[in-house]
């Protein structure tokens, strides 16, 4: 019998649907452009499907290398040992990520700008996936607990395996988003990747080396592409 987390749960689907219905009016009220409410529903719909498609691309190296014996294990450095696991931070880890996407929607001025940002974001993800294919890496097995009780973290870990560890795609993409936001909100934009970096560590989805690598990757990529 398949594990219940092998199939995306109904409560997760309902959350996505409810979020999709609620967020566009909020973007519309906060908008710094001439987009209509209809525009925000269209753009949000596109982000949902780009995100789903992007995850399939991200998961490909994990499935490709699942039986490989040549995967590099990321070491746990001394700082990692002193960082406690705080399961509830998975809600920040997951949801603030999409707040970053939404913040971009509030400020962009045209569909053309939206398409360019999406293209650069997918190109960033593709560069990470290529690295994962050539240099597969994993966290040690003890990084995750078989007794995890938080349903959101349990769901995330059932899909996102220990591989694709270095560099952290989560952190790299958050830095890329911050580069876009900083021209609108200045240095406050870096609060976003800071929380992503922190929650990657407290959920034990990544170690310090992964997060630092993701930050450097996202920074260098953004310098050249933005």
User: Per the structure block, which two tokens stand in for 24?
Assistant: 């566009």
Provide the pLDDT for residue 9.
Answer: 67
**HSE-up of residue 85 (Cα within 13 Å, Cβ side):** 15
In terms of Cα–Cα distance, which of 163, 164, 159, 156 is closest to 199?
Answer: 156
pTM score, whole prediction: 0.90
Please, are residues 152 and 84 in contact by the beta-carbon 8 Å criterion? no
Please, are residues 120 and 183 in contact by the beta-carbon 8 Å criterion? no
Helix (H, G, I), strand (E, B) or coil at 137: strand
Provide the pLDDT for residue 88.
Answer: 93
Please, are residues 174 and 97 in contact by the beta-carbon 8 Å criterion? yes
Domain boundaries, the chain: 10-67+81-225
Provide the pLDDT for residue 18.
Answer: 83
Provide the pLDDT for residue 2.
Answer: 41
In terms of Cα–Cα distance, which of 181, 164, 189, 178 is closest to 218?
Answer: 178
pLDDT per position in the chain (226 positions), as tens? 344 445 566 766 787 788 888 999 999 999 999 999 999 999 999 988 888 888 889 999 998 888 778 899 999 999 999 999 999 999 888 888 778 888 899 999 999 999 999 999 999 999 999 999 999 999 988 888 768 888 888 888 888 888 999 999 999 999 999 999 998 899 899 999 999 999 999 999 999 999 999 999 999 999 988 7
User: Per the structure block, which two tokens stand in for 143?
Assistant: 């990084």
User: Per the structure block, which two tokens stand in for 1?
Assistant: 């019998």
């Amino acid at each position: 019998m398949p594990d219940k987390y092998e199939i995306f749960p109904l409560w997760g689907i309902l959350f996505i649907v409810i979020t999709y219905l609620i967020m566009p009016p909020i973007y519309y009220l906060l908008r710094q452009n001439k987009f209509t409410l209809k525009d925000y529903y269209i753009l949000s719909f596109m982000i949902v499907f780009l995100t789903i498609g992007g995850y399939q691309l991200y998961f490909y190296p994990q499935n490709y290398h699942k039986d490989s014996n040549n995967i590099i294990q990321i070491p746990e450095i001394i700082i990692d040992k002193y960082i406690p696991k705080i399961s509830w931070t998975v809600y920040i880890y997951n949801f603030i990520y999409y707040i970053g996407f939404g913040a971009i929607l509030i400020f962009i001025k045209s569909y053309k700008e939206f398409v360019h940002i999406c293209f650069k974001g997918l190109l960033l993800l593709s560069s990470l996936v290529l690295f994962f294919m050539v240099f597969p890496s994993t966290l040690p097995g003890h990084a995750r607990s078989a007794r995890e009780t938080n349903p959101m973290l349990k769901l995330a870990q059932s899909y996102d395996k220990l591989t694709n560890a270095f560099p952290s795609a989560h952190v790299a993409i958050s830095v890329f988003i911050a580069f876009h936001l900083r021209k609108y909100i200045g240095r406050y934009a870096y609060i976003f990747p800071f929380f992503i970096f922190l929650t990657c560590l407290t959920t034990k989805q990544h170690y310090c080396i992964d997060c630092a690598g993701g930050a450097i990757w996202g920074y260098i990529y953004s310098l050249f592409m933005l």
